[in-house]
Chains A and B, each alone.
With several copies, the nearest count.
Chain A
Amino acid sequence: MSEDQSCAVNPDIPTQESLPLAVVQGQSLDSLPKDLYIPPDALEVFLDAFEGPLDLLLYLIRKENLDILDIPIAEITRQYVDYIELMQNMRLELAAEYLVMAAMLAEIKSRMLLPRPAAVEEDEDDPRAELVRRLQEYERFKQAAEDVDELPRMGRDVFQAEAGAGNRQVVKLPPEVQLPDLIAAFQDVIKRASMYAHHHVQLESLSVRERMSSVLERIRASHFTRFDDLFTLEEGRMGVVVTFLAVLELSKESLLEITQAEAFAPIHVKAADSAQAVPEQATGT
């Protein structure tokens, strides 16, 4: 194990090179390991620089270019404990995890010192195995975090491209209705109204009902419309009949008036007077 390298190496984290040894809080610092010297005002920063005991250990290992798979436990433990003591001396609040790690290192160290029979050695776990596993596992995610940080990031490296899109009002779509739904609704309402037995609706074909609407729309109460004009010859005979039925039905319901000045004179129709109350609505748009 590479015990004698340690003195040559300084931690190269926060500002270690600045202050002379002697002046720190008026204390003699001769007792501190030289490679561990950190100005006290930087200690907190130093502590912050590590994400925990695993990170600190990794730092100690990497600092000395050691193979993580073959950690010199005695030396690393010594350095680690020195750091911990230093921090405690400075009365820095130390996360409990750091102390747990110190205990774990001490335990591994003691197990390493125990003589083991050569025959067993092959099979038995290296006392460092668990620590090595945890260090590696932590290190790969430490690396992964750095990799993630390198990924192109929105608003830092790349930016959403956006063009103005006019007024960005949310368009509310009207609901869709399917014909079967409409028919089902009609069936329901008719059933509810106990009108199934009635023939009322059956009597006139729907086209007459529809034509009644369109005739009503075309005539006005204010003036007469020529009866002939209500018919569209292109519709054929069926169309003429439907319109005629519609006019008769409207007349029966007193919705329109039919007049003829004299025999064989043109017949005129107009909306019933009642519609005059609201002519602009009655004639539709």
Chain B
Amino acid sequence: MDIKRLKQIAEAILLAAARPVTLDQLLALFGENERPERAEMRAALEALEAEFDGRGIELVQVASGYRIQVTDEMQPWVSRLWEEKPARYSRALLETLALIAYRQPITRGEIEDVRGVSVSTSIMKTLQEREWVRVVGHREVPGHPAMYGTTKEFLDYFSLKSLDELPTLAELRDLSTIGEELQLDLSDIPETQLAPANDDSEPEQDAEVIDMAQAPDAAEDDSPATLH
């Protein structure tokens, strides 16, 4: 058997095995009269390894034998294979986040006062793990509760240059009286991934949101909150 053939067979075996295979195990898969020498097999494996160079896979030796694996460089694409569809955040979490954004710095107790219900530790933990919220200081009252504020990551996620771009309370009041269709527009904004086909409608809607969300005077070029 020539080396090209051996290489072919070795590749097929290693890809089918889905586990590391030792040199001896490889050789044992050949019939007695066709079995290559160890040196031949090793040369074939080396040739295979060289052939993989520049591809997305590589031949490696691990404790239990030879294995073909995906290169680290391919991880960004490959790891998404096992991504789980995200759940949705609870109403309580969104309200908490909104209060922190609008009323920062704000303590957990103050959030609870406004919401009228206690704020679970897991919500605060989730918001901080997501890096949207962080402790910015402590209130000088008994117990010195932590005060929370939003982060730069929060602004980035929502594509805000600064918190100014959030609608003010007055504007929100107008919004709620303006009526259904506007709210529909707002909630229709196609965000991220799945809607490349909506490209045409997106800019317009975005412009609309910015109009409503920006306080007229705060919308200067030198908007102060762009730095952090």
A101 to B158, CA, bound (A): 35
A260 to B172, CA, bound (A): 41
A179 to B209, CA, bound (A): 10
Cβ contacts under 8 Å, B87 to chain A:
175
Q: Are B99 and A141 in contact (CB under 8 A)?
A: yes
A254 to B141, CA, bound (A): 10
Q: Map CB proximity to B onto A235-254 as digits: 1 under 8 Å, 0 otherwise.
A: 11111111100000000011
Cβ contacts under 8 Å, B226 to chain A:
235
Of the residues A171, A210, A216, contact of B147 by C-beta under 8 Å? A216
Name the interface size band of chain B: 35 or more
Cβ contacts under 8 Å, A217 to chain B:
134, 136-137, 149
A168 to B215, CA, bound (A): 40
B103 within 8 A of A: yes
A271 to B116, CA, bound (A): 30
- Assuming the contacts A201-B102, A278-B144, asked whether A70 and B114 have C-beta atoms less than 8 A apart, the reply is no
Of the residues B68, B85, B150, B186, contact of A210 by C-beta under 8 Å? B150
Min CB–CB distance B122 → chain A (angstroms): 14
Min CB–CB distance B190 → chain A (angstroms): 9
Instruction: Give the contact stretch, choosing among B1-9, B33-41, B90-98.
Output: B90-98
Min CB–CB distance A271 → chain B (angstroms): 6
A101 to B79, CA, bound (A): 44
Q: Are A232 and B187 in contact (CB under 8 A)?
A: no
**B89, B115, B202, B209: most-surrounded residue (chain A CB, <10 A):** B115
Q: Are B115 and A192 in contact (CB under 8 A)?
A: yes
B27 within 8 A of A: no
Name the interface size band of chain A: 35 or more
Cβ contacts under 8 Å, B12 to chain A:
159, 161, 163
A279 to B53, CA, bound (A): 52
A211 to B136, CA, bound (A): 11
Of the residues A101, A170, A182, contact of B98 by C-beta under 8 Å? A182
Q: Are B172 and A187 in contact (CB under 8 A)?
A: yes
Kindly report which residue of chain A lies nearest to residue B209, judged by CB atoms.
Answer: A179
A237 to B222, CA, bound (A): 8
B63 within 8 A of A: no
The 6 closest A-B pairs by CB, nearest first: A213-B149, A52-B117, A164-B69, A186-B98, A239-B224, A274-B140
Instruction: Enumerate chain A interface residues (CB-CB to B < 8 A).
Output: 51-55, 67-70, 95, 97, 101, 126, 128-129, 132-134, 136-166, 168-193, 195-196, 201-202, 205-207, 209-214, 216-217, 232, 234-243, 253-255, 271-275, 277-278, 281-282, 284-285
